[in-house]
Amino acid sequence: MRTTITLALVVVCAAAPGLAGATAFPSPLAPDQGGQVATLPEQYPADWAFLNLPYNRIEIRDIGSDTHATRGELPARDSTVSLLATTRPEIYTLDTVWSRGVRGVRTDFITVYDTKTLKVLDEIVVPTKRILVAPMNGTFVFTDNERLGLVYNFTPTSSVTVVDLIKRKVLGEIELPGCSLLIPTGARGFSTLCANGKLTSVRLGADGKALGHTETTKFNDLDADPLFTENAAIGGVRYFPSMLGHVQPIDFSGDEAKLLPAWSLVSAEDAAANWRPSGWQTIASDERSQLYVLMQPDAHEGTQKDPAAEVWVYDVQSRQRLRRMRLVRPAISLAFDHGSQPLLLAQTDSGIDVYDPATGALVRRVVVDGLSAGTHMLVKTVR
């Protein structure tokens, strides 16, 4: 026996206007205005930031506005890092691609973008040697008034590729045996931290070739209290925190880096509670006289990249702690914008918390899609 089931489909429609009991349709949406092309200012505002996400994208965000809108976006692939020129309207990204997605022929290259349109202006292919690591400072830097770009290589032999960014060509390679990352030094040079606990400074000629190098005495105790590679600058001096809570100032204003007296970030009481620096971008400065350091309690070996609970603020002249800022959410990176009233940016596991550095108050929260605990995003700000 076959049973027939009949389904009744009831369609309820709004009656046309004017009919009895009718409900009028709401006003229709305005037609979508497609095909619009926006441009950015040639000189970006000082409260914009570059949020460099690993393997995904680089967002240009308006951190200083409550809308914290995304003003632009650049593609990012494998360990992409970027540089924003101040002497000409160009952005440079250092990137790597593989012909088969995650394998095949590798190509390392610098893409040159126009700051207003974000259109590609040019491309410079560099040797396939650059370090592939989560985005971090010191892997791609300017020198010689932004004419030269320096690319840090690690194969695991370390070296630096020198690129003329104006003429769009590779000038050569300089070997850096046993040394890590790059710090611009003097008018046309760089320095690098080495495995022997010393720092090497290299002077460059206009052709990008090394004219000579110097070494400091041994100061970085890699076995007992090594320095973080992240640092913050005030004037020509950069401040490097150590794993146990010291800070090493180094003057990079001349052709040869000069060590300055180290001092401690922690008191005996702080040390007893195991307060130590931690995070990815562990330290920032207001570029005037104060350092801001991410700190965590109950720290021990292996926690140096964990999120921090507080920010401690120091005056570099007196070498004294001025205040402690309790963070609303744990953070792994710090940066300052460069507005007339600078704001402190702290990366959390979901975005950027923006603080008033004078009061420690949370000003706004900026959510960034794709972040999670442990994501090492590089935060750069517009100078």
Q: Which of 218, 241, 271 is the last residue of a domain?
A: 218
Q: Is residue 330 part of a domain?
A: yes
Write down the pTM of the prediction. Answer: 0.89
Q: What confidence score (pLDDT) does residue 165 get?
A: 98
Give yes or no: residues 270 and 210 share one domain.
no
Burial bucket for residue 40 (CB in 10 Å: 0-12, 13-18, 19+): middle
d(CA 352, CA 249): 28
Looking at the fold, whether 210 and 232 belong to one and the same domain comes out as: no
Domain contains 94? yes
Each residue's pLDDT tens digit, 335-351: 999 888 899 999 999 99
pLDDT (0 to 100) of residue 17: 46
Give SS3 for 291.
strand
Find, among 129, 91, 134, the residue nearest to 110 by Cα: 91
Q: Mind listing the pLDDT tens digit for each residue in 141-200?
A: 999 999 999 999 999 999 999 999 999 999 999 999 999 999 999 999 999 999 999 999
- Please check whether residue 249 lies inside any domain of the structure: yes
Contact 146, 165 (CB under 8 A): yes
The domain boundary, picked from 190, 218, 246, lies at 218
Query: Domain end: 218, 247, 264, which one?
Result: 218
Supply the CATH number for residue 165's domain: 2.130.10.10
Which three-class secondary structure state does DSSP give residue 268?
Answer: helix
180 and 271, same domain (yes or no): no
150, 210 in Cβ contact below 8 A? no
Contacts of 76 (CB under 8 A, 6+ apart): 52, 53, 54, 55, 56, 57, 58, 93, 95
Listed as ranges, residues in the chain with pLDDT below 50 are 1-19
Please report the pLDDT score of residue 1 as a whole number: 42
Q: Are residues 214 and 237 in the same domain?
A: no
- Taking residue 169's Cβ as centre, other Cβ atoms within 10 Å add up to 12
Q: Based on the domain organization, do 177 and 284 belong to the same domain?
A: no
Total count of domains within the chain = 2
Whole-angstrom Cα Rg for the chain: 26
Domain that holds residue 300: 228-383
Tracing tokens 């935060």 back to the chain, one arrives at 379
The neighbouring-strand residues paired with 151 are 140, 161
pLDDT of residue 37: 76
Helix-then-strand count for the chain, H and E: 1, 30
Determine the pLDDT at residue 9.
Answer: 38
Question: How far is residue 316's CA from residue 67's CA, in Å, rounded to a whole number?
Answer: 35
Q: What's the pLDDT at 6? A: 41
pLDDT on residue 18: 47
* Cβ–Cβ < 8 Å for 335, 281: yes
**Residue 135 domain-assigned (yes or no):** yes
